[in-house]
């Protein structure tokens, strides 16, 4: 038992030494923590760059370049680990944990969250890292409100933005531990969207990326006449609802404009209609006459094949989902 505890202490010390060397950009100390052989691997799934796999001596070449050259990137100030799990055999060990990097000194930077697995070999009595697998989840890097639900819309989790804004949302709330839309039609659409995304996820369809598994739900207008929208999306294998995401709305409208060949003015008019304004108010907001706005709307109808504003809004919000 004492030998096992000694191994555990030594293993965690190696992992911590490698992390500290990385934070200090100390290549020599970093490489002392690693086994040297063609079988070693460094595998990362990163939000921005996708999956990278580096093997053998290329790991040292890459890390030497990363830690010794002048770079404009900034490392975290510190790293914290949680949920540490260690499995030890005679000559190998597996260590998994959740890791958070403190990025508070970097303006507008979100904390870096990783789920890591490290495999170590015991070589001549010393533990060395032989493989690292790091995965970064996209939902950890979203500023907009996110609510995780199951296939029946039962609430499972929400981020801090959702905790702040969901209680005051006029068209969306929680009823009986489930996410609930105030308008009956919106509630039906919400449940249908969640069930559809759950079905897509369970199929594990390789040709459909997560970005395609999205459905917009028109929640209706509040007492001020402002229209509200939420999206049911698939991220990191989770069923999520997001709302109040103006960046997503702008991207969606840009995609719709590209799909249907809308002009910039027509795209802006569509945005005004999505926000709940009637044609006259939309014309005023755009600084054009009602007749000009009517002409642009007719051209949007001609390009999309839609003849009613509610159906048009629904089409534009889901324009790039036609092949899913």
Looking at per-residue pLDDT, the higher value among 292 and 138 belongs to 292
- Contact (CB, 8 A) for 236 and 189: no
Judged against a pLDDT cut of 60, whether residue 111 lies above it is answered with no
Judged against a pLDDT cut of 90, whether residue 121 lies above it is answered with yes
Provide mean pLDDT across the span 241-269.
87
Full DSSP string of 126-156: EEEEEEEEEE--GGGG--S-EEEE-TT-BEE
Q: What does the pLDDT read at residue 73?
A: 63
Rounded distance between C-alpha atoms, residue 143 and residue 248, angstroms: 11
Looking at per-residue pLDDT, the higher value among 259 and 310 belongs to 259
pLDDT digits (tens, 9 = 90+) for 143-161: 788 899 999 999 999 988 8
Looking at per-residue pLDDT, the higher value among 190 and 44 belongs to 190
Taking the whole predicted model, whether its pTM rises above 0.85 is answered as no
Rounded distance between C-alpha atoms, residue 312 and residue 274, angstroms: 9
Q: Given the DSSP bridges, would you call strands 172-175 and 178-181 parallel, antiparallel or unpaired?
A: antiparallel
Q: What does the pLDDT read at residue 86?
A: 96
């Amino acid at each position: 038992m004492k030998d096992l505890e000694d191994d555990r202490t030594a293993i965690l010390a190696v992992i911590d030494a490698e992390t500290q060397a990385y934070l200090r950009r100390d290549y020599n100390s970093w490489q002392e923590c690693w086994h040297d052989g063609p079988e070693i691997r460094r595998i990362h799934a990163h939000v921005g760059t996708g999956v990278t796999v580096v093997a053998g001596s290329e790991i040292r070449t890459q890390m030497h370049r990363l830690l010794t050259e002048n770079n404009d990137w900034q490392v975290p100030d510190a790293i914290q680990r949680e949920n540490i799990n260690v499995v030890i055999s005679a000559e190998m060990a597996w260590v998994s944990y959740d890791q958070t990097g403190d990025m508070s000194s970097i303006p507008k930077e979100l904390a870096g969250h990783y789920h890591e697995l490290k495999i170590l070999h015991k070589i001549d009595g010393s533990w060395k890292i032989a493989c690292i697998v790091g995965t970064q989840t996209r939902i950890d890097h979203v500023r907009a409100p996110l609510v995780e639900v199951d296939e029946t819309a039962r609430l499972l989790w929400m981020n801090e933005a959702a905790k702040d804004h969901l209680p005051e949302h006029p068209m969306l709330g929680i009823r009986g531990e489930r996410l609930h839309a105030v308008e009956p039609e919106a509630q039906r659409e919400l449940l249908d969207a969640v069930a559809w995304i759950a079905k897509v996820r369970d199929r594990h369809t390789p040709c459909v990326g997560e970005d395609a598994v999205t459905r917009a739900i028109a929640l209706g207008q509040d007492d001020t006449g402002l229209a509200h929208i939420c999206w049911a999306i698939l991220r990191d294998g989770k069923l999520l609802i997001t709302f109040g995401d103006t960046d997503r709305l702008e991207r969606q409208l840009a995609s719709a404009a590209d799909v249907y060949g809308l002009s910039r003015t027509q795209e802006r008019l569509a945005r005004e209609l999505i926000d709940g304004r009637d044609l006259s108010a939309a014309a005023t907001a755009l600084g054009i006459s009602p007749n000009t706005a009517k002409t642009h709307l007719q051209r949007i109808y001609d390009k999309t094949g839609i003849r009613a504003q509610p159906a048009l809004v629904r089409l534009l919000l889901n324009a790039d989902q036609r092949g899913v």
